[in-house]
């Protein structure tokens, strides 16, 4: 084949190659590491605030997707033991950490909870991900010192690492008993959109 014909063939092939190439890169990932509050306990997965957030992300932030790696009953120790594998699997751009509630309900060491969350934060940041921290509050069953210390853990870590912090996941629904299932711990389906909107106030601006 002559040089002219080779050049013509290459020129004709260029538009086809351009059409076959993906128009955009793969979506970046928001990885949610949480417990039953994020795993839609007692509901279908699609009813939970994480799934509702994923729908909102799909509509309004097309360059992103949401992966829910939450497990009912998870403690901060469980999250710390799992995060390396989840980071490797999903390579997220943002990690949302919603853990610690089960530590508090079991009266576990506040220092150990903080250490576990610290490990998760460091692992996520080392991978190149941003971190959003979601805090919780617990009933005063273990006394005021434990209750205050539990809540303070999240602020201490957020201040230390300068993280976006949502101080209390259940803030918009906590005061109304009808927002909760029979166990008085897990929100009903009707309350999940309020939680989604509450989380979005912090998460939305991170999705640039």
- Are 60 and 126 contacting, i.e. CB atoms less than 8 angstroms apart? no
Largest CA distance in the chain: 88
Instruction: Please give the distance of CA 156 from its chain centroid, rounded to a whole number.
Output: 19
pLDDT computed for residue 26 by the predictor:
83
pLDDT computed for residue 25 by the predictor:
72
| Active-site annotation, residues | 36, 183, 186
Domain membership flag for residue 165? yes
Domain membership flag for residue 152? yes
What is the phi/psi pair of residue 98, to 5°? -125, 80
The per-residue pLDDT for range 137-184, each reduced to its tens digit, is: 998 888 999 999 999 999 999 999 999 999 999 999 999 999 999 999
What's the token pair of residue 162?
């300068």
Low-confidence ranges of the chain (pLDDT < 70): 1-24
Domain membership flag for residue 114? yes
User: By residue range, what is the domain housing residue 96?
Assistant: 26-206
pLDDT computed for residue 175 by the predictor:
96
What CATH number does residue 109 fall under?
3.40.50.1110
Q: Which residues pair with 180 in a beta bridge?
A: 187
Nearest to 32 by CA among 1, 5, 64: 64
Domain membership flag for residue 17? no
Domain membership flag for residue 178? yes
Domain membership flag for residue 1? no
């Amino acid at each position: 084949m002559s040089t002219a014909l080779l050049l013509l063939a290459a020129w004709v092939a260029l538009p086809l190659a351009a059409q076959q190439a993906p128009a955009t890169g793969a979506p970046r990932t928001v990885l949610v590491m949480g417990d039953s509050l994020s795993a839609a306990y007692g509901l279908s997965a699609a009813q939970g605030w994480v799934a509702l957030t994923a729908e909102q992300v799909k509509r309004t932030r097309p360059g992103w997707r949401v992966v829910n790696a939450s497990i009912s009953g998870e403690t901060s120790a469980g999250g710390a033991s799992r995060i390396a594998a989840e980071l490797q699997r999903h390579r997220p751009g943002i990690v949302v950490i919603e853990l610690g509630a089960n530590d508090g309900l079991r009266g576990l060491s506040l220092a150990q909870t903080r250490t576990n969350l610290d490990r998760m934060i460091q692992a996520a940041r080392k991978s190149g991900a941003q971190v959003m921290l979601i805090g919780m509050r617990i009933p005063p069953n273990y006394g005021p010192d434990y209750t205050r210390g539990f809540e303070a853990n999240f602020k201490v870590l957020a201040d230390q690492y300068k993280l976006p912090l949502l101080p209390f996941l259940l803030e918009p629904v906590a005061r109304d008993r009808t927002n909760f299932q029979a166990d008085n711990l897990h929100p009903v389906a009707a309350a999940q959109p309020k939680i989604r909107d509450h989380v979005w106030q912090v998460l939305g601006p991170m999705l640039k």
